[in-house]
Structure 1
């Protein structure tokens, strides 16, 4: 809710508490402490702007029927100096409250005053939050899961920022450990095959088989020829990785930048190995008695913190595991001063959540300050059928393939339409449609339509001006009030999206806003009305335009002025 709506909620709670006090003082109700009650927004606006269950929850304490309690409170509701004007008792004892027209006028004045700042709040009190997302393996191209994770992570970071948090976006580059060893071997074999043939140097099944490995090996061969064949395997593989890995990382960065995602931090796993942070973390765990040795390996007592099984930290060969590096990495994040760390992981990592939270407790940190958003897989659909291969390359669809085929606006919007924990289908045909069936087009069209209305009226000599409260009070039609009520809810929706880690809530909000605007515009004329009403409706149109613009720009989606 907006600041006005939040103030109205606080006022209403005080109105109810004051009424209870007066009713008890005048013996209309017995002198018993009333239980806590809720104030909520009814789904049906005809049932009021707010409703309370105070009479229902007080029945046991007062030994009275809820409706009798509601009737006893009725004479004591005092609305002066508030935005409320009336109430009604509904059903068995619910009490519905109705805002005065002054509230609706004040909402529009608030939006006009705040402009780009409308929807932002200080809910987060400037607390520092780290949002780590995508973090794709740099040994190959990014896939479709990264497309969804990128949209969700970036939009979540944007929502948290709007809700008053200090947000840092982070990408974790796994440039050490087993996957890099496998990357090195895969590159080495492909490089040797270029000069010796595939039969002479067969590729093991557990190596990376993708065409991208062959491409990098060929690029290396084009540059250095067969000069590295004479080097030792260790030297050759290091040279190949030093050549290929920066190229892969640069490709990730360029693809993500095209997707309008830019990170504050690109954190290299190799730093943890080179700076001794993994060893420091292992030392802490050992000193706290959280480890034991078995079969030559060092194990972590994960079961002591609720996990199903213990985990290996250091293998028999002396190399730390990915899990050990992950503990050190999360410890590093908290040591950088973040109040909360949020990871966006694939749903297949659900078993890792409790282990990592427990590991934070084990190293002396607070595991409850680590939150993990689990993201389900996405299926691509074309002509109603699941698509697994790119039309352009004939290979598995990558993020780069998607962005070549689908507008970035559509990708960011559509991937952010459902909660992370729900499976989704991404309709490639829908994403490129330019009609009301495409949700992002529908929202952008509402913005463009308002811009066109303003331009057309200007040609006729009608220019928007500031309205008085009396003029804004002319907005009394149901379509007008529904639209303003929805505008008033925006700031609260941002806060709720931040609290729930659900940026899709805002995408749904703006779709509903566009729908309410189209209903309003079809029911209420702007052009041709008497000047005061025309200007009031113009103010409402501009307020809708402002909020749509704020949502789209927050999510790095364009807000066109013509379509």
Structure 2
């Protein structure tokens, strides 16, 4: 296997050496620039070069000379695997030599070819999905699941130590209501009086659970209190629903390293309240301070549950940027979901994570300020706490919105969507837009075997490379392993493909630094476009055909390029958790 080389890393080190040699008086500033996440850019289409650097602009102020003069001084001293040229208004364009270019392409045999280690690898905790175990996952949960899983893959590719975590809200009012709903349905099935239980959760899944519960407890209601029954039914339902949630996620190839239950955090709540009290952040009141004049929506939680939530112990989150103070302990002595959530987040930091990332639905947007405020109040560095909010998913069929399942007449579940489309379209489509933008998922398009379908377009590009390589093998032609292939790959379309492959590791590293998973499908689609353009040109111009027994040396060089495209697309699809079929 060819030794793996990272030409961009080599160029950056050579640029730093040349910069220090040209301007030793600002060596400390140069060190700071290159120690940060400094990277190379791409020259504009009308300029030659594989890479471009703006280092001269960054040194303009400390050096006190024009960027173009600075660029010329650095370019004159540059010694690395590329030819350097200073161009107006002050960029340095760099064109790789053939040895480095070939070494990169040959190094793609290494599974780590697209991995560029972050300058400061860290321990990262990503919490995602964390759906309540009160029902099946809906499509919106699926989007957060895919984004969280792919972000974990992307950060691991950059050398970070990543832990995937699920926070299980398995206690409190919601589980009590789940237990009552199950018992309500049990009574309905048996023909008993249902008035003693509330019918909060509905749907076919509740009836299925009720029948399963009834089968396991044929002696139900014999000398038992309602409280013990509700507790038992709630426990039975939440355990089975969480198992179903895990099975659904496994169908999307999503698994977790850690599951933390809210129940396990209860022992830490008293300690938290004592800690907050010692910090002078708690007070007793009937309502949060300075909120008397606030007008609330009639459907807000504060309005709906106002009477039963009024009064208690409040945390002064408003001192740290929150809109108002938040209740952490009600007047009846019970604590809130927020209280346990603070304990949970403290635990993440105490476990030694350098960065804590939460992926929440957009409906949790109001929770971000209060959690950040609570952590700041307790002395934690909130720059290490990040929240990605995922907007809603709108399901379409032939361009028209679909809200209800034809099968059940209820909300379409994630399982039903997987049944209809498979995992690959779901994973790919859910990544195509930034998380803070709504996502339209057209079911008809997602299963269409057409270049209109983005996931098909990328998978077909991979399958096509496999078919071309197989055809070459049948004709006795194999990809060349000699450096001279680069002199044979002279067509602009071939050079363009090589240049794009060179930039993939940098694109992935940038996506990891910025936590932007939507860059992955962008890179894959662009590689597919360039490859399909190359293939189309070969169909129209026999001089550009890849497999040609009459020109075996050129065919071997082109097969080498096709194989590099195959490896590139396979890597990108794998990072997205999408299959790379060899035939379609």
TM-score, normalized by the shorter chain, greater than 0.5: yes
- 1:146-185 alignment runs, 5 A limit: 146-185=141-180
Separation in 2 of the partners of 1:162 and 1:72? 35
Alpha-carbon contact 1:417-1:507 (below 8 Å) kept: yes
Task: Mark the CA change 1:346 to 1:72 in structure 2 (over 3 Å): closer, same or farther.
Answer: closer
Which ranges in structure 1 are unaligned for 5 or more consecutive residues?
Answer: 23-32
Shift of 1:46: 3.2
Shift of 1:438: 1.2
Task: Mark the CA change 1:124 to 1:201 in structure 2 (over 3 Å): closer, same or farther.
Answer: farther
Which ranges in structure 2 are unaligned for 5 or more consecutive residues?
Answer: 287-310, 538-543
Shift of 1:487: 1.1
1:52-76 deviation line (CA, Å, top 9, x unaligned): 5567778889998x6xx74796588
Task: Mark the CA change 1:178 to 1:486 in structure 2 (over 3 Å): closer, same or farther.
Answer: same
Task: Mark the CA change 1:58 to 1:466 in structure 2 (over 3 Å): closer, same or farther.
Answer: closer
Establish whether residue 195 from structure 1 lines up as the match of residue 220 from structure 2. Answer: no
Alpha-carbon contact 1:102-1:473 (below 8 Å) kept: no
Normalising by structure 2, report the TM-score: 0.85
- 1:89-128 alignment runs, 5 A limit: 89-90=87-88, 96-112=93-109, 114=110, 116-123=111-118, 125-128=120-123
Shift of 1:209: 3.1
Establish whether residue 542 from structure 1 lines up as the match of residue 535 from structure 2. Answer: no
Shift of 1:204: 5.0
Q: Give the corresponding residue for 2:546.
A: 526
Q: Give the corresponding residue for 2:308.
A: none
Q: Give the corresponding residue for 1:278.
A: 269
Alpha-carbon contact 1:464-1:538 (below 8 Å) kept: yes
Establish whether residue 227 from structure 1 lines up as the match of residue 220 from structure 2. Answer: yes
1:365 to 380, 387, 402: 380
Establish whether residue 480 from structure 1 lines up as the match of residue 494 from structure 2. Answer: yes
Q: Give the corresponding residue for 2:460.
A: 445
Q: Give the corresponding residue for 2:285.
A: 294
Establish whether residue 211 from structure 1 lines up as the match of residue 204 from structure 2. Answer: yes
Does 295-304 or 377-386 show the bigger shift? Answer: 295-304
Shift of 1:248: 0.5
Q: Give the corresponding residue for 2:136.
A: 141
Shift of 1:221: 2.4
- 1:306-385 alignment runs, 5 A limit: 306-385=321-400
Q: Give the corresponding residue for 1:25.
A: none
Q: Give the corresponding residue for 1:26.
A: none
Alpha-carbon contact 1:291-1:300 (below 8 Å) kept: yes
Alpha-carbon contact 2:479-2:560 (below 8 Å) kept: yes
Alpha-carbon contact 1:176-1:270 (below 8 Å) kept: yes
Shift of 1:407: 1.4
Q: Give the corresponding residue for 2:258.
A: 265
1:281-340 deviation line (CA, Å, top 9, x unaligned): 222111211111124511111112111101111111211100001001111222222221
Separation in 2 of the partners of 1:40 and 1:422? 27
Shift of 1:150: 0.9
Shift of 1:81: 4.2
Alpha-carbon contact 2:354-2:384 (below 8 Å) kept: yes
Shift of 1:169: 0.8
1:76-114 deviation line (CA, Å, top 9, x unaligned): 843774233353634x565544444444323212213x2
Alpha-carbon contact 1:118-1:547 (below 8 Å) kept: no
Q: Give the corresponding residue for 1:78.
A: 76
Separation in 2 of the partners of 1:147 and 1:62? 52
Task: Mark the CA change 1:459 to 1:440 in structure 2 (over 3 Å): closer, same or farther.
Answer: same
Alpha-carbon contact 2:472-2:559 (below 8 Å) kept: no
Task: Mark the CA change 1:301 to 1:72 in structure 2 (over 3 Å): closer, same or farther.
Answer: closer
Partner SS, residue 484 of structure 1: helix
Normalising by structure 1, report the TM-score: 0.88
Separation in 1 of the partners of 2:329 and 2:488? 73
Partner SS, residue 260 of structure 1: coil
The structure whose RCO (Cα within 8 Å, separation 6+) is larger is 1
Query: How many correspondences in the alignment?
Result: 542
Separation in 1 of the partners of 2:333 and 2:55? 64
Alpha-carbon contact 1:192-1:201 (below 8 Å) kept: no
Partner SS, residue 240 of structure 2: helix
Separation in 2 of the partners of 1:305 and 1:71? 47
Separation in 1 of the partners of 2:94 and 2:551? 32
Separation in 2 of the partners of 1:328 and 1:57? 43
- 1:11-30 alignment runs, 5 A limit: 11-12=14-15, 14-15=17-18, 18=21
Separation in 2 of the partners of 1:409 and 1:433? 12
Separation in 1 of the partners of 2:215 and 2:74? 87
Partner SS, residue 418 of structure 1: coil
Alpha-carbon contact 1:359-1:367 (below 8 Å) kept: no
1:357-384 deviation line (CA, Å, top 9, x unaligned): 2212333432221111111111111111
Separation in 2 of the partners of 1:443 and 1:165? 27
Establish whether residue 509 from structure 1 lines up as the match of residue 523 from structure 2. Answer: yes
2:434 to 415, 419, 436: 419
Establish whether residue 251 from structure 1 lines up as the match of residue 206 from structure 2. Answer: no
Separation in 1 of the partners of 2:43 and 2:336? 53
Task: Mark the CA change 1:217 to 1:3 in structure 2 (over 3 Å): closer, same or farther.
Answer: same
RMSD, matched Cα: 3.0
Partner SS, residue 182 of structure 1: helix
1:397-435 deviation line (CA, Å, top 9, x unaligned): 111111111111111111111111111101111110112
Shift of 1:190: 2.5
Q: Give the corresponding residue for 1:29.
A: none
